Amino acid sequence: MTTQTSEEIIEEQVGTADEKPPFSLELNQDQKDIKEWVHGFAEGVMRPAAHEWDEKEEFPWEIVQEAAKIGLYGFEGIAQFFADESGLSLPLVNEEMFWGDAGIGMAISGTTLAVASIFGQGTPEQMGEWIPQCFGTADDVKVAAFCASEPDAGSDVSAVRTNAKYDEAKDEWVINGQKAWATNGGIANIHVVIATVDRELGSRGHAAFIIPPNTPGCEQGAKVKKHGIRASHTADVHLDDVRVPGNCLLGGKEKLDERLARVREGKRSKGQAAMATFEASRPVVGAQAIGIARAAYEFALDYAKERVQFGRPIVENQAIAFTLADMKTEIDAARLLVWRASWMGRTQVPFENAEGSMSKLKAGEVATWVTERAIQILGGNGYTREFPVERMHRDAKIYDIFEGTAEIQRLVISRAISGHHIK
Ligand SMILES: Cc1cc2nc3c(=O)[nH]c(=O)nc-3n(C[C@H](O)[C@H](O)[C@H](O)COP(=O)(O)OP(=O)(O)OC[C@H]3O[C@@H](n4cnc5c(N)ncnc54)[C@H](O)[C@@H]3O)c2cc1C
């Protein structure tokens, strides 16, 4: 796909477009090609495997490897999608993958959480060193994990207890704590861990650390048995006197010390920047939810045209047809929010009303509602594991929970629109 080195690709991607492309709903040829290419993989490889991996509840290494072989999983692929100056390629790719299957989709895309963190907070040298190691190669595929949540720190990230202490004599950080719910936790080559360096400062005393491959003391804890996205691996991660070199602190020590000094003096931290990063990443998650919703809607529409009761296809009942009309309308509305926020994030239009959170909130709730309605349209068949809408409904529900619950999105939006500190 490309012969550039990782450093060259990163340097090219770090900046944003000089001229902001206008927001457009008309896809250009590159975007259409990417969409069609991912759709082909989703339809030909992911869909046929979806049921099997959901039942097995195991990480589908061979499918991730197939994705790597065609360039869909890997550093160059991500860089290519991110390079789209309109910001639409990333949601397009995610919608198509999750239309194929959400569990496998998360197995393929889970690494990007860690990559986004390195990309957002790392120095160019750190990006060049660690991002390629998150993916490995097509012959030796690796994954990465982003570990922020803990048993007592979910929505309340400021409660993170995992701590990092600097050992000046050895220029090493010593990390101790327990992480919960980590996607790819324990099976990852690279773990990005959020730890506190000063608990009194709450989330402003946090820093992100790279845990290099095979570092002693970093171990997988219990694997989580889940309701949905069961092909994706989720586990606790134990961090027991984990020693990492000083340069594993993302952004570097000088920058951290400056930031902490600013905060201790009561000056503004870079909280605004962190918020902008979340706002920019949330639409991508929203696009995944839309992919699931679209898959369930399409299945229900086809079924409603085929299934005959009372001598006519069930779609000829307004109760069914109007539900399908609402499903399609809601999906399209959610997609517009996602595309708007993706475009804003890429072109650095300020998120004055938390438009990224709006897109994730809407897409998650649409996916949960649409997949539940799809089960209803299929009747008894919808409730069985023989038909995919049951799985899609289980998969969709996570979009009301992770990457900020629906309530937390509403908190962010209500604070942004009101200027008040809503609790
Ligand atoms: C499958 C899966 C994968 C995950 N992957 C990762 C990962 O890779 N990395 C990672 O760091 N984390 C991950 N998480 C964790 C996820 O981000 C958290 O589950 C999520 O942030 C919610 O935290 P919690 O589960 O502790 O719920 P809690 O924070 O305990 O919330 C419980 C309920 O209370 C509500 N609530 C809490 N505070 C408020 C408030 N102030 N106002 C109104 N309502 C509130 C919530 O909305 C929710 O409904 C994953 C979780 C799951 C289930």
Q: Which residues contact 380 (CB under 8 A, 6 or more apart)?
A: none
73-91 per-residue burial string, b: 16 or more CB within 10 A, e: under 16: bbbbbbbbbbebbbbbbbb
Instruction: Give the closest residue to 149 by CA, choosing from 185, 106, 112, 110.
Output: 185
State whether the beta carbon of 182 lies less than 6 angstroms from ligand 1: yes
Q: Read off the DSSP letter of residue 23.
A: P
Ligand 1 pocket mutation, candidates 162, 233, 401, criterion most atoms within 8 A of CB: 401
> What is the pLDDT at residue 30?
95
CATH class of 19-135: mainly alpha
State whether the beta carbon of 188 lies less than 6 angstroms from ligand 1: no
How much is the pTM? 0.95
Interatomic CA distance for residues 176 and 77, integer angstroms: 34
Instruction: Give the closest residue to 346 by CA, choosing from 114, 18, 122, 35.
Output: 18
pLDDT digits (tens, 9 = 90+) for 345-392: 999 999 999 999 999 999 999 999 999 999 999 999 999 999 999 999
State whether the beta carbon of 353 lies less than 6 angstroms from ligand 1: no
CATH class of 271-418: mainly alpha
**138: buried, middle or exposed (CB in 10 Å: 19+, 13-18, 0-12)?**
middle
Ligand 1 pocket mutation, candidates 106, 405, 411, criterion most atoms within 8 A of CB: 405
User: Residue 367, Cβ neighbours under 10 Å: how many?
Assistant: 33
State whether the beta carbon of 155 lies less than 6 angstroms from ligand 1: yes
156 CA: nearest ligand 1 atom = 29
Domain ranges of the chain: 19-135, 144-264, 271-418
Q: How far is the CA of 207 from the centre of ligand 1 (A)?
A: 20
State whether the beta carbon of 160 lies less than 6 angstroms from ligand 1: no
What is the bridge-based pairing of β-strands 144-147 and 190-196?
parallel
Q: Supply φ then ψ for residue 388, to 5 degrees.
A: -75, -15
Q: Read off the DSSP letter of residue 353.
A: T
407 CA: nearest ligand 1 atom = 47
405 CA: nearest ligand 1 atom = 47
Q: How far is the CA of 405 from the centre of ligand 1 (A)?
A: 6
155 CA: nearest ligand 1 atom = 29
pLDDT digits (tens, 9 = 90+) for 175-213: 999 999 999 999 999 999 999 999 999 999 999 999 999
State whether the beta carbon of 193 lies less than 6 angstroms from ligand 1: no
Classify domain 144-264 by CATH architecture. Beta Barrel (2.40)
State whether the beta carbon of 407 lies less than 6 angstroms from ligand 1: yes
pLDDT digits (tens, 9 = 90+) for 235-294: 999 999 999 999 999 999 999 999 999 999 988 766 555 666 688 889 999 999 999 999
Q: Give the pLDDT mean for 204-224.
A: 97
Q: Is 306 a catalytic residue?
A: no
State whether the beta carbon of 149 lies less than 6 angstroms from ligand 1: yes
Residue type, 342: S
The active-site residue out of 95, 129, 355, 403 is 403
pLDDT digits (tens, 9 = 90+) for 15-52: 445 678 899 999 999 999 999 999 999 999 999 999 99
Q: Which two tokens stand for residue 274?
A: 């962190």
Classify the C-alpha dihedral 147-153-156-162 as positive or negative: negative
